[in-house]
Amino acid sequence: MKRFFVNQNLQLNKRYKIEGVEHNHLKNVLRLSEGDEIMVVCGDEFDYLANIIKITKGDTEIEIVSKSPNLANPKSDVTVFQALVKSENMSLIVQKLTELGVKSFVPFLSEFITSKDKSNKSQKLQEISNQSVKQCKRSIPMQVSTVKTFDEILKDLEAYDIIIFANECEKNAKLGDLNLNPQSKVAIIIGSEGGFSSVEIDKLKNIGAKSISLGKRILRAETASIALTSCVMYLLGEWDYE
């Protein structure tokens, strides 16, 4: 069943309007009709079954007929802190981390970033996550933060039980050495295309962050982000079918 994201609270037996990109997709791409059933999510813990009541040029009117608990939302509390990379790569990272079940995403500035665009694109990235939940069947999008400085994320990291960062200079600690508790609040930190400076690595280690090697090959920033997150989610049991 086709799924749509609406940015408003939903209630049973109430009518709502789907507008903008979602309406265009429903009407002009999928060519759905009045009387068809769709699934709607709004960022809470539920999936909402709705009937299409009316389709006009500018919007689609729906009525919520039932709701059920969403079974695809992540159980683990994982945040990825990602140093800024090129815009198209950042969009890819947000899309894939949403699919993998990451709860929160924090873009940050670091010493060796090569991205020329250091502006705050959190609203655009949030929209990408909102759209991605439809494909992976989550009902709660990954929450995208505004861009922070490196020192700001160091302070934020104090709230986490386990802090992991990918370090291309690491020769000893490997992914297999991680002992992750599914109940832990986990932070994953990924550098930019230029990696971390020695000063940044020292600061991360000083707050208890675990330096992890991703193997003998140097990965692109977006590959490292997706690969490390995939491994962590597996170790946390998020790949189990329950």
The pLDDT tens digits of the residues spanning 102-134 come to 999 999 999 888 765 666 588 999 999 999 999
Closest CA to 28 of 53, 50, 60: 60
pLDDT tops 60 at residue 100: yes
What is the overall mean pLDDT for the chain? 91
Residue 95: CB atoms within 10 Å: 19
- Quick one: angle between helices 221-235 and 87-100, nearest 10? 10
pLDDT of the residue at 120 = 57
The answer to whether 11 and 64 have CB atoms below 8 angstroms apart is: yes
**3-class secondary-structure state, position 207:** coil
Measured over the CA atoms of residue 167, residue 168, residue 170 and residue 175, the dihedral's sign is: positive
Closest CA to 104 of 74, 84, 134, 131: 74
**3-class secondary-structure state, position 40:** strand
Q: Are strands 46-55 and 37-41 parallel, antiparallel or unpaired?
A: antiparallel
Q: For the purposes of burial, counting CB atoms within 10 Å of the CB of 93, is it exposed (0-12), middle (13-18) or buried (19 or more)? A: buried
Could you give the count of Cα atoms lying within 13 Å of 148 in the half-sphere of its Cβ?
Answer: 16
Q: Determine phi and psi for 91, rounding to 5 degrees.
A: -65, -40
Cross-sheet strand order for the sheet of 104-108: 143-144, 104-108, 77-83, 185-190, 162-166, 210-212
Residue 1 and residue 175: Cα distance in Å, rounded?
38
Residue 112 and residue 103: Cα distance in Å, rounded?
26
pTM: 0.90
pLDDT tops 70 at residue 241: no
The pLDDT tens digits of the residues spanning 15-67 come to 999 999 999 999 999 999 999 999 999 999 999 999 999 999 999 999 999 99
The pLDDT tens digits of the residues spanning 199-229 come to 999 999 999 999 988 878 888 999 999 999 9
Residue 203 and residue 52: Cα distance in Å, rounded?
54
Percentage of residues of the chain with pLDDT beyond 90: 75
